[in-house]
Structure 1
Amino acid sequence: MMIYMQIFLISMMLLMMMYKHMLIMLMMMELLVINMSMIIYMMMGELGMEFYLIYYLIFSVCESVLGLALLVMIVRFNGNDLYYMFNFSKF
């Protein structure tokens, strides 16, 4: 369990440091989602309720699809995924 908490903290620190590119942020968020699913599986496995993990995985897949759709829209309108180049008056 301790290794999952360390991975969680490392990915949170990387998410805070690598904020310029949206693709890197999406990858770090997916690492957090995978890590949280492992923690939830271990906790729910002790209680015998592993089927609740399916609900979490469904919401995480929806979140990742929305993130990728947003990334494609931003790249089409802006040309790159750098945050400091955004001009929100276009939207």
Structure 2
Amino acid sequence: MKAFVVAAVICAVAVLVKAELTEEQKEKLKKHHQECLAETKVDEELVKKARQGDFTEDQKLKDHMFCVVKKIGFLDDAGEIKMDVLKVRGIS
């Protein structure tokens, strides 16, 4: 199940990267990213590489991605995918 959640997080992040975001959404995403950087202490270079599709097997990177996607609202506190949110946002 954990591998599925990680895969879902990666897919959600990929969708966000390619999505047309409003300025408000971009600012919220930046805020979430900064908060999660402080929380997870991930190497920013790993995040930059992941944005380009080069994912490293790194627990802090996974934690960072999980943190961001959770703050966006795609996952609940238990790590379960919130399908209703994905449907509303046109992702599923």
Q: TM exceeds 0.5?
A: no
Higher share in helix: 1
**Structure with max Cα Rg:** 1
Q: TM-score, length-normalised on structure 1?
A: 0.28
Q: TM-score, length-normalised on structure 2?
A: 0.28
